[in-house]
Chains A and B, each alone.
Chain A
Amino acid sequence: MMLDGVATLGRAVLETCRAAGRLLLFALEGLSHIFRPPFYFRAFFRAMLDIGYFSLPVVALTAVFTGMVLALQSSTGLSRFSADSAIASLVVLSVTRELGPVLAGLMVAGRVGAAMAAEIGTMRVTDQVDALSTLSTNPMKYLVAPRLLAGLIALPLLVVIADILGVLGGFIIATLKLGFNAATYLNNTLTFMQTQDVVSGLVKAAVFGLLISLMGCYHGYNSKGGAQGVGAATTAAVVAASVLILAFDYVLTELFFAR
């Protein structure tokens, strides 16, 4: 009885290792094609549009409202300690270091990761991936590499905009609702914000972008079994990307800020 339990646990561990190995090999192959010709620039620009431009509205709205809520919550919390003046620094540090990249990552994972998995998954189950191979085109090079590169580049660009809009949201609430002086608020924001805060957020964004594309491509590429399989791949891509974003957020925060 106990041996059965150990065997089951062993099988689960082995399967997890196998899955991690498959994912790692897929990622390495996809990344290696970024540096080896031929390069598919049209596929790359299309992926940049999908990930960057078309995600802009949802990321912008999320950032503005997050900045507004942060300012409001900070005001009610910090006023208990007569520390209202720290609102500007709290908003800018929270947004640039943490909330900008994480929330943008989660939003893009839901929007783009799902779409990637669905598109590549549908191509897989309708033989379009095989058709690529018969037309002198490596599917990893044509479908995966451009998306990985686009995720790596587009998410930091989105996060720059999210950072600005998040701070703007805090500024709007602080000046229009909480009665802060606009010049003082901006001065506090710029005084407390350091290069490392922004850079760490952008590095996180690049890693999250890569993870989102990787999960979308990996689950889509390996989907099987028709519409149900594509649906399962889409769900798996979003869930895996979201969990990995939160896990890597902790790891990167440790690397940047732990003393």
Chain B
Amino acid sequence: MTTAPKIRLRGVCKSFGDKLVLDGVDLDVMAGTSMVVIGGSGSGKSVLLKCILGLIEPDAGSIEIDGQNVLAMDRKAREAARARIGMLFQNGALFDSLPVWENVAFGLLAQRKIARATAKAKAVDVLGQVGLAGSVGDLWPAELSGGMQKRVALARAIAATPEILFFDEPTTGLDPIMGAVIDGLIVDCVKRLGSTAIAITHDMLSARRIGDQAAMIHKGRIVWQGDAYGLMESGNPMVDQFTHGRRDGPIQMELRK
């Protein structure tokens, strides 16, 4: 018996002007699994996530969550679908005009209409889940280090216990130890919540730590999909060149001479 995927993409295309960024992406992510999408800079990874989130409207194709095509939904239904997704942005994207606890509880306050005092208690609890003391809640985002900002952003993404979690370059700009800490927290959070996750990264260590499944996107198309465990020995020339960081291979960098 086959189960339907939690997230299913078919023929998703997106262009900006005459630049084709997504060229018919097909991707299935099964419920409860972590899918890591790897690919070079400008390969369309972030655009792919933003299309699933509904922040960017694809030109063609379908995006299904639990069998429902989100592109065919009206605005309210789409907002409801988006409320089931938590997102960790590449640079954290914390609101600098709000203290940390309000950043974490923002979705709860916006969605559930709980009292501010209850929301603050919940925020402190979620900060604890990502290894931060409750006192951090009263600080401002600008007062935090890069690693702490990432943890706060992770806390904000999981605060509303979403069914689906997206991670955009979760370890970019962090030292290797902090990167491992964030990866560990991501794995813990995804397991605890039982969420389905998609992470995009070009950090191979992080990809293998976070992912159950992996896919590679190149020039707007998925060129390989398989177990994240076998990422380094995939047998696909493109994936091998990318994961081993080789200059020579089927992927040619477009450099002006």
Contact = CB atoms under 8 A, between A and B. Distances in A.
Answer whether A and B are interacting partners: yes
A254 interface: no
A123 B111 CA distance: 21
Given A136-B107, A136-B110, A131 B87 contact: yes
Interface in B52-95: 53-55, 79, 82-83, 85-87, 89-91, 93-95
Contact of B90 (A127, A128, A137): A127
B110 A133 contact: no
Nearest to A135: B107
A134 B89 CA distance: 10
Nearest to A122: B96
Contacts of A137: 106, 110
Given A130-B50, A131-B95, A136 B55 contact: no
A126 B91 CA distance: 7
B120 interface: no
A136 B95 contact: no
B156 interface: yes
Given A130-B50, A130-B55, A135 B91 contact: no
A126 B83 CA distance: 21
Contact of A135 (B54, B90, B96, B110): B110
Contact of A128 (B53, B93, B111): B93
Contacts of A131: 87, 89, 93-95
A28 to B, nearest CB: 16
A131 B95 CA distance: 9
Given A133-B55, A134-B53, A136-B110, A127 B82 contact: no
Contact of A136 (B53, B83, B91, B96): B83
A136 B85 contact: no
Contacts of A128: 93-96
Among B86, B90, B95, B111: residue with most chain A CB under 10 A: B95
B82 to A, nearest CB: 6
Contact of B93 (A38, A119, A126, A136): A126
A212 B192 CA distance: 48
A110 to B, nearest CB: 21
Contacts of B91: 126-127
12 contacts: A126-B91, A127-B93, A128-B95, A130-B50, A130-B93, A134-B86, A135-B107, A135-B111, A135-B156, A136-B79, A136-B82, A136-B111
Interface of A: 38, 119, 123, 126-128, 130-131, 133-137
Given A131-B93, A137-B110, 13 more contacts: A127-B91, A127-B93, A128-B93, A128-B94, A130-B55, A131-B87, A133-B82, A134-B86, A135-B107, A135-B110, A136-B83, A136-B107, A136-B110
